[in-house]
Amino acid sequence: MSPGSVGSIRLMGVPVRVHFTFVLILIFLAVSGIGNNQSAGNNALFLLALMASVVLHELGHAFATSRCGIKTLEVVMYPTGGVARLERPAKPREEFWIAAAGPLVNLALAGLIVAVLYSHNRALDFAAFEQSGDANLADRIALANLILAGFNLLPAFPMDGGRMLRAVLSRIRSEPEATSIAAFSGRVLAISLGTYGLFYVPMLALIAFFIYLGAESEGVASRRRSLSQGVPVRAAMMTEYRTLSHASTFHDAADLLLSTAQQDFPVVHGDQVIGLLSRNALLRGMAVEGPQSYIAGFMDREFTSVSPDTELSVVVALMAQGSACLAVMQDGRMVGLLTSENLSQFLLLRSAGLQLAEG
């Protein structure tokens, strides 16, 4: 579960979670609607319709992802839109259509409302937001979907348009170069929106902040993927590490934590690895059970393992999904340990080596 997300519903088999910042945006919109020419019930209906539009937007992505044979592990709703965690990175052609699916859903919803209004001899009122009222609820929902589609089609990360831009550029540029251009566009957009928001619309400044973070994190993730492509796990894994017995206590684990640089410990029973104990689990166990209790009840028995020949870029994606420590297994035997710390150190050294070679 992504940090900061609250609640969870499952739609089309995909867990959909809401980040607390998205809730804050909804509260702001609800408060902003008080005092207009609309009833409280009408304001609530608009907010529910807006949230449903955003969720349907993300389900459009999830549907396109499934058509490409990629499983969506989770969708988290942020102020700038939803972020989906996929079981593998999409190829450029796949990414283009996956990114386009969300805005197409919003355009379809807006088109459906416009068609219904037309059947009642009404045209879409483009000034509906200026005079919000109970009579123009449908107009505001249609306009909100048009705004969602237009905003997401901006060619800048982390919006869908940025991903579409990267997919197109990847046909003529390398993936890191294409990502760098889309991320730069995202940062320029964020600075522009933030500057305007500071003087006129403070909420835009907050949204700009999230856009900048999203563009920056996408650029970093792309750089990490580029540095790890074609490199096996065995090149970065730790080969010298300490283990704990299944009969060890939290006191034993704390002694190892203090006397070594390790923060994650394989738990073994004979020659078999039966779990991993992280520092957080160690501290939680000591607080709940006490130092003389056994670690077996707090270790992670469903730990993730990889082969030493697995490409490191695959592991980078795994760790981005929350796996802070991986057991490296070969023929049923543990041959190494890969943590987020030593992976970062390896990529830092590799980056420095490549820069030295290029210089």
Give 125-174 pLDDT, tens digit per residue: 888 877 777 778 888 899 999 999 998 898 888 889 988 998 999 888 88
For residue 341, pLDDT beyond 60? yes
Residues of each domain in the chain carrying CATH 3.10.580.10: 233-358
Three-state SS letters, the chain: CCCCEEEEEEECCEEEEEEHHHHHHHHHHHHHHCCCECCHHHHHHHHHHHHHHHHHHHHHHHHHHHHCCCCEEEEEEECCEEEEEECCCCCHHHHHHHHHHHHHHHHHHHHHHHHHHHHCCCCCCCCCCCCCEHHHHHHHHHHHHHHHHHHHCCCCCCCHHHHHHHHHHCCCCCHHHHHHHHHHHHHHHHHHHHHHHHHCCHHHHHHHHHHHHHHHHHHHHHHHHHHHCCCEHHHCCECCCCCEECCCEHHHHHHHHHHCCCCEEEEEECCEEEEEEEHHHHHHHHHHHCCCCEHHHCCECCCCEECCCCEHHHHHHHHHCCCCEEEEEECCEEEEEEEHHHHHHHHHHHHHHHHHHHC
pLDDT, tens digit (0-9, with 9 covering 90-100), for 194-223: 898 888 877 788 778 878 887 887 777 777
Which is the CATH superfamily of the domain at 233-358?
Answer: CBS-domain (3.10.580.10)
pLDDT tens, position by position, 261-320: 888 899 988 888 898 998 888 999 989 888 899 998 888 888 888 899 988 877 876 676
